[in-house]
Each structure stands twice: as C-alpha cells, then as structure tokens.
Structure 1
C-alpha cells in the first residue's frame, strides 16, 4: 500500500520535501494558501526529476501521486508523515500543529523543518507534544541527504525511530541530535561563517564573490568529503589530531574572529551586499542557479560514490536497496522463462550528457558495459567468482546509435545471448526509453584465467547457467542488427 506524506507549507523547503517523497513512491498532499504554490512546486519537482534519479545506478520506484488541498484536514487525514515547513514564526507554527493534530493519526510522524526553534518550543500547547519533533533538512531537500532529527524528553521514541527508518528508506541520513539546542548542529557552523563573512564585507576586506571563491576553491571541497575533524586530522600529518591541536590550538587565543559580534544591518551594508551579489550572480535566474547547483552536486556526489566515501557511501547503500525494491534479477534462477534478460534499468545522470544535451557516446558504452556486468553476475560470474580467479574479458564491441536520450530519462537494456559455449559469451544488448529503441550493443567476451591472463574454460556452474540462457534465447527471433558491421544494412 502506498504511503502518504502531507506537506504543510510549499515554499523552497516544503517543495523539496514533496519532491523527495514523491520520487520515492509516496503519495504527497500539499497544503499551502499561496495561489502560486502549485506552479512553484511544479518547478522544484521538474528539477528533482532531472537530477535525483541520476544519483543511482538502480531505478527509483514508480512516482507517487501529487495533490493540492485547500484545508489542512484534507491533507493530513490518513498521512503517515506530516512535514511542517511554514515561516519561522513560533506562534504560527504552534497554531498549525493544533490544526494538524485535530485531524491526523496520533501515530503519524509530525516533523518540523525549522532551522532555529527547539522542539520543546514547538511542543508547547500542542494536543500531543510527544508526536512533534524537528526534522531539519538542507536545501535542496531532494538531493542532500542530511536530516537533523531532534526529539525531546517528551517525544515518543517509537515515532522517532520510525521516522528515522523512513528517512533511511528514502536514501537520507538521519542525524539524531543528542540534546536540543538553538539552531541544532549544522546551522551553528553556518551562522559562525556567516557572521565572519559579514564583517569581512563591512570592513572592505572581501566581496561576496571573493568570500564564495575562498570556500568553493578551498576548504569547501575538503569539507564535502571529509568534514571538519577528519580534515584537520589529515592536516596534523603522521602524528594526527593530537599534533594538529598542539600546533594550532594556541591560535584560538588570537583575535582572529568576531564570533559573538555581528555588524549592524544598516541600509548601506545591505545595499553593499546586495549589489555585490547582483554583480556576482545576477546574470542567472534563480531556476538557472538551481540547475547549476544540482548539476554540481550530482557530479560531486557520484564521484564520492565511486570512492564509496562520505555521502557517496550512502548512495551506494541506497542503490542496493533500490535494486532489490525494483526486483532486478541477480541470478539465473530468478529469470522468467521465454523472454530476454533485463540487465539494466536506470535514469540517465546529469554528468552523462554532452554539449548537445543528450547522452554522449561514451556513456552508451558504459551502459552496455554495466548491462554486461549484470549478465555476468546472473550467470554466476560475480565478485566472489572473479576473486577466485576467473572472469570474462571483452574482445570485440559494436554499438549502433539509433536515437538520443536526455538527462533524467529512464533507460533499460534487454540482453540476448547469441552464444554461450566453451570460452565464448556473445551478447546483443538493446537499449530503450519506454518502447523507443535508442541503441544496440554487440559484445564478444572470452573467459580468462586471472592468474595466467589467458583464455580458459569457465567453471562448470557458470558454463551450465550460460548455456541455459543461450538455449532459451535461441528459441526467440534473431535480433535485427546482430552480426552487422559498420556500413552494412
């Protein structure tokens, strides 16, 4: 049964939550009195559809159903998760909770996106304080995985635990905050950096662009993959963190920063910052900046996934979950008789596209290579088998590029085994978007001993599995294009 999420407040953060839930198969109901809410969320959702699926090598579940409601009661009745993202006004939030709890399931998750209020403040005068907790996300919610989960002593820990499990199911990282505190954890760092940046501008030391460059060309990249303390541990050299603290600890007594002070927001300072920001980024619309941001985030997070590190390790785990959820075949015993073998189903990532806006030719080869890897796994040539000393090496490849496909579109590959005897494995892949044929890839592979690096016979089990599929596929129609060379019709 499809789960339902209610989004109360459809601004930037609420829209991001709606996209994250929707693209993970939840039905989403939105309440927001703004007459532009449907348009705004639609634009956020378009960006999410373009970027989120491409983080994974496995397909996301079928998209849920989105609806907009004029009453809070309509949105929250029967919802398993209710996320409040209204403006940062405590009285308004408390009023909204009373309206929500008059109609929602007492066991539902009731989370707040607040970046500043403590959950105990939100719980004041609530009908059921135990149900309310902070679930603070980071923009864009549909891409960034961190959620600061902040309960209180009054909180129902069973609901908190269920909320964390739901977040993990969507590929997010719930960070349980041990004690409630103003601004939680991450925003306290941001506040410190923000204060220093304001002074640097006011004192004429740097512009908005120069400060941003100091972050994005320097420590920001390090933080993205190692955080603060691990970065400083490395900076300590072979002696590690203890040496770093001994070397740089005395600097904390120097008057470098103004952490507890902030310049007055005079009209002159506001104008200065606004003018500098316009000069820095005013040539782009907000939607253009969002797409640029998303492109960069997806590329960086996919690079981290290749290293199984940081946020990328989280993505890798979610890939396995999504693959199992989608029913992707892993073994010959799971194949259904009489048809071709689906060896790949995934969205086209942003970093697979070229200057023409469609998937570049190298990525067609990568997709077919991934399909070959899956086929090898199905017949038993998996990681354990390869570790034991045997594998298949590609001897010849022929790709036909038939049609184009763009970022965010879901592609699938069906594989025909033309030959599976002795040392040879002859595969013919067909790539589709829906029913539209995009490309074919023909590959001849030879089984090799990894010890001698020479052709060798596969194990009896792999040979038997391969022959079983090849025999079944010989009963099917021969694929058009099989055995074709360049220029031949």
Structure 2
C-alpha cells in the first residue's frame, strides 16, 4: 500500500521534502497558498529527478503521485507523515499545527524549523505528543541529515515512528536528546558564519577566499570524518588526548570573535553582496543548484565506494531498494541511472564504465544461480570473467536511465556465458552489447573447477530457458 506524506509549505525546503518522499515511492500532497507553488515545487523536483537516482546503483521505487490542495485539512487527509515547512513565525506555526491536528489527529508532525525548540512549537497544541522538530539541510533530496528533536511532551513512540519513516526514505535521523536553541548543526554553522562576517568586514578575506579556505581544506576533511575524528588523526599515534594537550592552550588565545557580532550596516551588506556577485553572479540560481547537486553526488558516491560517512548511509539504503533478477526471458540485471562521475571529457559514459555495468549485470546472474556473496565467502568458489566483447552502439549520457537485459547462452561444465544488452529505458534503444565468458574457479587453488551440483543445475536450467527465445 502506497504511503502518503503531507507537505505544508512548498518553498525550497518544502519542495525538497516533497521530492525526497516522491522519489522514494510515497504519494505527496502539498498545501501552499503561494500561486507559484506548483512551479516552484516542480523546479525543485526536476533537479531532484536528475540527482537522487545517481547516488544509487539500482532504480528507485516507482515515483509517487504529487498533488496540490487548497487547504491544510485537504492536504493532511489520510497522511502517514506530515512535514511543516512554513515561514519562521511561531504564531503562524501554531495556527498551522492547530489546523493539522483538527484534520489529522494522531499523525506524526515534523517541523523543519531551525530556530524554534519543540516545546515552543507545542504551546497551545491540542496534542503536543505528535509534534517534534525534524530539521533538514538543503537540498533535502540529497543531504541525509535530519535533526530529530522531541520535547518531554513528545511521545517516545512518535519519535521512533518518525525515525523509521525518515530512515525508510534514505535519511539519517540524528536524535537530539535535549532541547537547545538552533539544535546541533546550525550552532556550528553560526559560529563559522560569525567569524566569516568579521573577516570580510575587517578586510582580511573576501567571500571567495573564505569559501576556498573551506572547500580546499577542512571542508573535505569534515565531509568524511567530521570534527572529532579529524582532530583525533591530527593527534598522531597518541590520539585525541595528545591533540587536546597540544592545542588546548590555543582556546585562551584571541583567535576568534565568536562572542561578538559585527553590526549589519548597509555598508557591510553591500560589501558582502558585491563580493558574492563577483564570485558567483555569472551563474543563475538553478545553475548553482545543479553544480552543487553534481558535486555532492560525486563526493557521496566516492564515500559510498569506501563505505564511510554519508556514503555508507547511501549504501545501506541502496540495499533496501535492490531487487534480485527474476526468472525471465531475458533477465533484467541492471535498472539504474547513469551517474555524473561516470562521464568523460566528451560528456558521455566512458568505456570503463560499460565494463562495470556489464560486470554488475553478470553478478546479478551469478546471484540468481546461487553464486552470490555468501557463495564466495563461505564456499570459496566463484565465476571469473576470462573474455568479453563489448560493442558501443549509441552515446550514453549522465542522467539517462538504463536497463540491462541478460541471457545465459552457454551453461555447461565450468562455463557460464552471458549476452547482455544495455538499453535506454525510455525508448528501448540498444546502446551497447556485451558477450561475456566466465569460468568457475576455486578461490582456494585459484584454478578452474566444476561448480557444485546445486549451482550447475540452476545454470543449466537458465541456459535452457533462455535458449527458448
């Protein structure tokens, strides 16, 4: 049964929430009084459709149904999850929560607020137990962190239900155990922001130089190790204790102005705005968003390959999305989007990635006949590729959805030969083919050997099935 999310407020954050749920198979009902809401959400969704599927090596669920509604009550009808993303005005949020709870009592409500604590949101609510903060980071459809902040009045069952929903759509719910202004992550951002304002105001650095200091240095470290693990490494073999002993005295030095804030004079605003225009004004906001998304995809896919940080989370979510090939003529062994990091200087998929696609397709066939990861690790047996012939028939560009249809053309003795066709999903055009010969191998002797009877029988049966075409 399709689940349903109600999104109250369809701005940049609300649109990102809508995209995250939609692309994970949920139906989404949106309320926003802005007459441009349909267009704005649609533009965010267009970016998300071209971005989120690139993180995964399999297809996302079939997209849910998006609809816009004229009232909060109508949008909230039948919802399993309600996300509030209206303007940061407490009186407005109280009014919205009252309308939501009148229309959908007992349904968990998450607020995207970065500035209010959950106890403040719950003031005057008919049922405070269903309300909590679920603070995301932009773009919501790519960045996985969600700060889940309950108050003492929030039901623990509601919190656990919220964490389950967020995990299901590929997010990381960080359970903030105590209420605090600005939660956790924004407190770090505020500290860096304050220091950056002083550096610009005092003429020490421009906006671009500050951004370069982050993206060419510690930003890369933070993106995969965070703060404390980074400093633990900086402590060398002696670890964190040595780091703190060595650099602790610096905390008393006048390095920062964190307890002071420069006055937002018109002159300071003009200075920062003019530098920002010089830095990025040649790009439209949509171009900047696409640049941001593709950079994030490439970084998160690299982290996924290493099984760490946000990439580890993507890999875990991917395993819940992957579906094994079915016993069919032919078998669908790949169903995915071509990611941006697979392209070359010509803008299309490079030769090595075709080999990866067909290798992944072959692993699908192997898993179907029982030669899966457990077969390799426990029985110390596998199939090794000894020969491939790949033909490149059409350009394959980043963002295209592809499938691979595989047939077993030889399946006797030690041999397993497959013929793969990679097709564009939208029109079925064959973009490349691969004839692949594999031999069964013992990982103990590293020599060919006959497969055990259970695998051999499945290979032979699949070859017979595909021979009937």
Provide TM-score, normalisation by structure 1. 0.92
The count of residues paired between Structure 1 and Structure 2 equals: 466
2:414 pairs with 1:423: yes
Structure 1 residues 102-128: Cα deviation after superposition (integer angstroms, max 9, x where no partner): 212x22111100011101111111221
Cα offset, 1:26, TM superposition: 0.7
Cα deviation, 1:346-369, whole Å, max 9, x if unaligned, reads 222122234444433332221111
- TM alignment of 1:366-381, pairs within 5 A: 366-381=356-371
Superposed displacement of residue 402, structure 1: 2.5
| Equivalent-residue separation in structure 1 for 2:126 and 2:386 (angstroms) | 69
Residue 3 of structure 1: CA displacement? 1.1
- Match in the other structure for 2:91: 91
Q: Which residue of 1 aligns with 2:458?
A: 465
* 1:307-456 equivalent positions in 2, closer than 5 A: 307-323=306-322, 327-329=323-325, 335-336=326-327, 339-387=329-377, 388-434=379-425, 435-456=428-449
Work out whether residues 418 and 473 of structure 1, in 8 Å CA contact, stay in contact via their aligned partners in 2: yes
Q: Secondary structure at the match of 2:420?
A: strand
Counterpart for residue 479 of structure 1:
none
Gaps of 5+ in 1: 330-334, 477-489
1:49 matched to which residue of 2? 49
Answer yes or no: is 1:298 the counterpart of 2:297.
yes
Between 395-404 and 308-317, the greater mean CA deviation after superposition: 395-404
Partner of 2:130: 131
Q: Give the corresponding residue for 2:186.
A: 187
Cα distance in 2 between the residues matched to 1:397 and 1:172: 39
Cα distance in 2, alignment partners of residues 67 and 356 from structure 1:
39
Q: Return the offset for 1:419.
A: 0.5
Counterpart Cα distance in 2 of 1:405 and 1:34:
39
CA distance in 2, matches of 1:374, 1:305: 20
Q: Which has the larger displacement, 176-185 or 436-445?
A: 436-445
Q: Distance in 1 between matches of 2:340 and 2:74?
A: 37
- Residue 307 of structure 1: CA displacement? 0.7
Q: Which moved more, 1:370-379 or 1:44-53?
A: 370-379
Task: Give the whole-Å Cα distance in 2 for the aligned partners of 1:87 and 1:416.
Answer: 55
Two-structure CA RMSD over aligned residues (Å): 1.4
Give secondary structure in 2 for the equivalent of 1:102: helix
Deviation at 1:418, TM superposition (A): 0.7
Bigger CA drift: 404-413 or 238-247?
Answer: 404-413
State whether residues 333 and 364 of structure 2, in contact with CA within 8 Å, keep that contact through their aligned partners in structure 1. yes
Match of 1:167 in 2: 166
Q: Deviations over 1:196-243 (max 9, x none)?
A: 000011111100001000000000000000100011111111111111
Q: Which moved more, 1:40-49 or 1:461-470?
A: 461-470
Deviation at 1:160, TM superposition (A): 1.4
Give the equivalent residue in structure 2 for 1:482.
none
8 Å contact kept, 1:53–1:347? yes
CA distance in 2, matches of 1:175, 1:408: 31
In the TM superposition, residue 406 of structure 1 has moved relative to its aligned partner by 3.5
When structure 1 is superposed on structure 2, of 449-458 and 366-375 the one drifting more is: 449-458
Measure the CA separation in 2 of the matches of 1:197 and 1:3. 43
Contact 2:53-2:59 at 8 Å conserved across structures = yes
* Aligned counterpart, 1:144: 143
Distance in structure 2 (CA, Å) of the matches to 1:85 and 1:321: 28
Q: Secondary structure at the match of 2:308?
A: coil
Q: Distance in 2 between matches of 1:196 and 1:386?
A: 53
SS at 1:413's partner residue? strand
What TM-score does the superposition give when structure 2 sets the normalisation length?
A: 0.96
Residues 84, 110 of structure 1: 8 Å contact kept: yes
Is the 1:395–1:446 Cα contact (8 Å) retained in structure 2?
yes
Q: Which residue in the other structure is 2:205 paired with? A: 206
Deviations 1:19-62 (A, max 9, x none): 00100111111111112111111111111000101111121110
Q: How much has 1:396 moved relative to structure 2? A: 1.6
3-state DSSP class of the match of 2:51?
A: helix
Counterpart CA distance in 2 for 1:164 and 1:72 is 24
Q: How many angstroms apart in 1 are the aligned matches of 2:415 and 2:77?
A: 59
Q: In the alignment, what sits opposite 1:18? A: 18
Give the secondary structure class of the aligned counterpart of 2:177.
Answer: coil
For 1:314 and 1:152, how far apart are their aligned partners in 2?
27
SS of corresponding position for 1:256 = coil
